[in-house]
């Protein structure tokens, strides 16, 4: 029997994120203004054809896989291919607060323009107009600028993903990312869920940071961003 996180998108949109996704039999997608991810109970050509019918022309979706993604080149164009490392929180940290924790504030809809600006600059992963609806986003402001942020995303019960961890280049090296991650993780654990996250496998610096606060590498997989033709 496969692990829940081996098919985390499908398990998220059919459990903890069911309210912000559309699911038809064995195929589902998040609302397109929230996240681009598509999940399938089983990854096969038939379900990818069903995904094609569920999406709009020109719509972009992200699909994860381990070996081969059976795309029809007459229906889909591949825009980006990534190697992703999945990490799970396993080694408890001694404290969920740091010196930077005092500056943390909740982020709300009024902050969306600043969040979009920061994520466009730092590219922590897809962040769209209504990604904030995943909930529990926090930031640190310096002189009115959003210096860093983090929040939660996919929720394949009992796991909860820490996501959108990013720091403006002008404010790196101050421990903001760590402080924000710990705040999000604390809420996840208080609600009896297990934190996990995803990071580009090439981002060794981020992987080292995550390992320093208790994450361990679980698995690598591929993630392709494709567009319906």
Q: Which residues contact 110 (CB under 8 A, 6 or more apart)?
A: none
- Sign of the alpha-carbon torsion through 198, 202, 203, 208: positive
For residue 147, the surrounding DSSP H or E stretch is strand 145-152
Rg, Å, the chain Cα set: 17
pLDDT tens for each residue of 111-128: 999 999 999 999 999 999
Contact call for residues 43 and 51 (beta carbons, < 8 A): no
Q: Which residues contact 190 (CB under 8 A, 6 or more apart)?
A: none
Q: Give the per-residue pLDDT at 95.
A: 87
Q: Which of 54, 53, 52 is nearest to 72 (CA)?
A: 52
Could you give the CA distance from residue 178 to residue 175 in angstroms, rounded to a whole number? 5
Q: Which residues contact 126 (CB under 8 A, 6 or more apart)?
A: 35, 36, 37, 62
CATH of domain 87-218: 3.40.630.30
Could you give the CA distance from residue 156 to residue 160 in angstroms, rounded to a whole number? 7
Could you give the CA distance from residue 45 to residue 73 in angstroms, rounded to a whole number? 12
What's the order of all strands across the beta sheet hosting 21-24? 21-24, 27-30, 38-40
Q: Give the per-residue pLDDT at 1.
A: 64
Task: Note down pLDDT in tens along the chain; length 229 residues.
Answer: 689 999 999 999 999 999 999 999 999 999 999 999 999 999 999 999 999 999 999 999 999 999 999 999 999 999 999 999 999 999 888 889 999 999 999 999 999 999 999 999 999 999 999 999 999 999 999 999 999 999 999 999 999 999 999 999 999 999 999 999 999 999 999 999 999 999 999 999 999 999 999 999 999 999 999 999 9
> Where along the chain do the CATH 3.40.630.30 domains lie?
87-218
Could you give the CA distance from residue 109 to residue 184 in angstroms, rounded to a whole number? 18
């Amino acid at each position: 029997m496969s692990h829940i996180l081996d098919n985390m998108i499908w398990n998220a949109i059919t459990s903890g994120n069911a309210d912000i996704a559309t699911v038809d039999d064995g195929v589902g997608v998040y609302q397109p203004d929230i996240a681009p991810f598509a999940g399938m109970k089983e990854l096969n050509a038939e379900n990818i054809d069903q995904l094609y019918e569920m999406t709009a022309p020109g719509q972009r979706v992200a699909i994860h896989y381990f070996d081969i993604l059976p795309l029809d080149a007459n229906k889909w164009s591949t825009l980006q291919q990534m190697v992703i490392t999945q990490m799970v929180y396993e080694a408890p940290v001694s404290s969920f607060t740091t010196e930077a924790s005092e500056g943390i504030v909740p982020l709300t809809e009024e902050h969306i323009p600043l969040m979009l600006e920061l994520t466009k600059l730092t590219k922590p992963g897809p962040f769209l107009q209504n990604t904030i609806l995943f909930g529990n986003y926090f930031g640190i402001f310096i002189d009115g600028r959003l210096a860093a942020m983090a929040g939660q995303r996919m929720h394949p019960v009992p796991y909860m993903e820490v996501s959108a961890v990013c720091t403006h280049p002008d404010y790196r090296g101050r421990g903001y990312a760590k402080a924000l991650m710990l705040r999000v993780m604390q809420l996840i654990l208080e609600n009896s869920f297990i934190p996990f996250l995803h990071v580009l496998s090439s981002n060794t610096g981020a992987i080292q940071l995550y390992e320093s606060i208790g994450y361990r590498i679980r698995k690598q997989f591929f993630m392709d961003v494709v567009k319906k033709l």
